[in-house]
Structure 1
Amino acid sequence: MTGPEAPVTQPNAVPSLLGVFAHPDDESLLAGGVLAQHAAAGARTAVVTATWTADTHRIPELAEALDVLGADAPRLLGYADARNPASAPGGAVRLVDAPLDEAIGRLVAHIRKVRPDIVIGHDALGQLTGHPDHRRAHQITLLAVEAAGLPHLYPDAGEPWQPAALYTATHSESGVGRLGPLLQGVGKTLLAVPDAYVTTSVDVSLWAAVKWAAICAHRSEAARPRPLPGLLARLPEPERNEIISTEHFTRLSPGPEPGDPHQLVA
Structure 2
Amino acid sequence: MNHPPLPSLLGVFAHPDDESLLAGGVLARHHAAGARTAVVTATWAPDSRRAAELADALGALGAGTPCLLGYNDARNPEAAPGRPRLVDAPLDEVIGRLVARIRDFRPDIVVGHDAVGQLTGHPDHVRTHQITLLAVEAAGLAHLYPEAGPPWQPTSLYAATHPESGVGRLGPLLEEVGKTILAVPDSYVTTSVDVTPWADMKWRAILAHRGEVARKRSLPGILARLAEADRNRIIQTEHFTRLTAGPAKGDPAQLTP
Q: TM-score, normalised by structure 2?
A: 0.97
| 2:208 counterpart letter in structure 1 | A
- Give the partner amino acid of 2:56: E
- CA-to-partner distance for each residue in 1:79-132, whole Å, 9 max, x for gaps? 00000110013x010000011101100100000000000000000000000000
In structure 2, the partner of 1:52 is 44
Give the structure 2 partner of residue 259 of structure 1. Answer: 247
Q: Does 1:172 align with 2:160?
A: no
Residue of structure 2 in register with 1:109 after alignment: 100
Partner of 2:147: 156
8 A contact 2:31–2:62 mirrored in 1:
yes
Give the number of equivalent residue pairs: 253
Whole-angstrom distance in 2 between the partners of 1:53 and 1:238: 35
2:181 corresponds to: 190
Is 1:247 the counterpart of 2:233? The answer is no
How far apart are residue 261 of structure 1 and its match?
Answer: 2.9
Equivalent position of 1:93 in the other structure: 84
CA distance, structure 1, for counterparts of residue 159 and residue 248 of structure 2 = 17
Residues 179-232 of structure 1: CA deviation (Å, up to 9, x unaligned): 101100101000011111000000000000000000000000001100000000
- 2:8 maps to 1:16: yes
Moved over 6 A (4+): none
Matched, 1:31 2:23: yes
2:118 is aligned to 127
Partner of 1:140: 131
Specify the SS of the correspondent of 1:248. strand
Q: Is the 8 A contact 2:7 2:249 kept in 1?
A: no
Distance (whole Å) between structure 1 residues aligned to residue 142 and residue 234 of structure 2: 42
How far is the alpha carbon of 1:12 from its aligned partner? 4.0
Structure 1 stretches of 5 or more lacking a match?
Answer: 1-9
Equivalent position amino acid for 1:118 in 2? I
Identity rate, percent: 72
Per the TM alignment, residue 173 of structure 1 is displaced from its structure 2 partner at its CA by 1.1
TM-score (norm 1): 0.93
Note if contact 2:71-2:80 (Cα within 8 Å) is conserved in structure 1: yes
> 1:52, 1:231 → 2: CA distance?
22
- Which stretches in structure 2 are left out of the alignment for 5+ residues? none
Give the alignment partner of residue 73 of structure 2, picking from 72, 81, 87: 81
